[in-house]
Amino acid sequence: MYDYLIIGHGLAGAVLSQKLLEREQKIMVLDQPDHNHSSVVAAGIFNPITGRKMFKTWRADQFFPELTSFYPELETKLEAAFYYPIGVYRPYFAIEDQNDWEAKKSDAKFDAYIAQTTTSNISAHQLHDPHGGLFLKQAGYVNIVELLNANKKYLIDKGSYRETMFYEKDLKCNTDHFSFGDLKFKKIIFCNGIHAHKSEWFQWLPFHPVKGEMIDIELKKRPETIYNRGVFMLPFAGGHIRVGSTYHHHFDDMQPTETGQNELKEKLSGLLKEQYEIKGSRAGIRPATKDRRPFIGKHPDNEHIYVFNGFGSKGVSLIPNCSKLFTAYLLDGEALDAEVDVSRYYSHYPIQQKN
């Protein structure tokens, strides 16, 4: 009998599987990789200062120290390379930003994230950055596909992974356990990304899927860090430079579009001066939520059914700390943070489904 059945091996299911194994839980992860529309597409960037106004991202002081130790430790454990803390360079939009950030850089609130500032351009022939910019630390990217491949191998070696589709209609709820085919387990955790909004158990949650598109480009000179203003340019190790992303709430399919590509080219022209060649494009759907906070916790009607989802566009930075808190909730009875606890939406659970 397994302690936990985890549905989905995207970044959420993969990281959670490690946390539960560390606590000696017997787990089985089911995944149908062809149906992954987010983790395998994502750029994997973690960046503590985001948005046009360059605000510190939500709970950065809680999430960033955790992720910067978690991923390198996981690399060692899985004997794989996927963590690239190469930093982010954020060119200023206007001259006023210089004064603003010269003052902020000695502020203890930002100290941990600012490596350096510059008031002159760093690459006059390549970038539009006449006012200089900000070099961020505790920033970089995770090659999520490499992480998932290494984690899958690790789980297979432990007999804890099956590549198969989970069908809810085939889940049997018995008095003291569940069963699905030949598998028997005490609890089930849905880490099924955007598929949750079609799920019988969690479709009542206010998911807000957001389509994102990216292009891969080739440049004469590769940047050594991530550039980010309006769009990001990510020099993917051993690959092209990834440029992204778009944010679209209304979409018909998961394919890259000409409109998306044009939007990226337009934004890129505000950052990059140099000629480039487009080598490819990709698109995916972020499992985002209406209030932009994850959905973590227990189903309102069944205390053995859980959700760990809704990481939107920030899975890389949120998932390590959230999986640690969720594991403490599951195994030590610690309370979940009210901002991520799915119980904040119990009032959305349809009456007719109760019981």
Residues binding ligand FAD (CB under 6 A): 7-13, 30-33, 35-39, 41-45, 165-166, 191-195, 212, 214, 244-245, 284-287, 309, 311-317
Closest separation in Å from C-beta 101 to ligand FAD: 23
Closest separation in Å from C-beta 314 to ligand FAD: 5
In terms of CB distance, is 44 or 91 closer to ligand FAD?
Answer: 44
In terms of CB distance, is 54 or 132 closer to ligand FAD?
Answer: 54
Closest separation in Å from C-beta 119 to ligand FAD: 28
Helices 315-332 and 60-78 cross at an angle (nearest 10°) of 90
d(CA 354, CA 300): 8
Closest separation in Å from C-beta 136 to ligand FAD: 14
Q: CA torsion angle for 306, 312, 314, 318 (degrees, to 10)?
A: -20
The secondary element (H helix, E strand) that includes residue 31 is strand 27-31
In terms of CB distance, is 144 or 330 closer to ligand FAD?
Answer: 144
End-to-end CA distance of the chain: 26
In terms of CB distance, is 98 or 245 closer to ligand FAD?
Answer: 245
Q: Are strands 295-298 and 305-309 parallel, antiparallel or unpaired?
A: antiparallel
Closest separation in Å from C-beta 53 to ligand FAD: 19
Residue nearest to ligand FAD (CB): 10
Closest separation in Å from C-beta 42 to ligand FAD: 3
In terms of CB distance, is 245 or 321 closer to ligand FAD?
Answer: 245
In terms of CB distance, is 139 or 330 closer to ligand FAD?
Answer: 139
Closest separation in Å from C-beta 194 to ligand FAD: 6
In terms of CB distance, is 87 or 119 closer to ligand FAD?
Answer: 87
Mapped onto helix, strand or coil, the DSSP state of residue 185 is strand
Closest separation in Å from C-beta 277 to ligand FAD: 21
* Residue in 69, 66, 226, 196 with CA at minimum distance from that of residue 135: 226
In terms of CB distance, is 98 or 228 closer to ligand FAD?
Answer: 228
Do residues 6 and 28 make contact, with C-beta atoms less than 8 angstroms apart?
yes
d(CA 233, CA 123): 14
Phi first, then psi: give them for residue 222, nearest 5 degrees. -75, 135
Question: Hey, which bits of 119-193 come out as E strands?
Answer: 133-136, 140-142, 161-163, 171-173, 178-180, 183-190
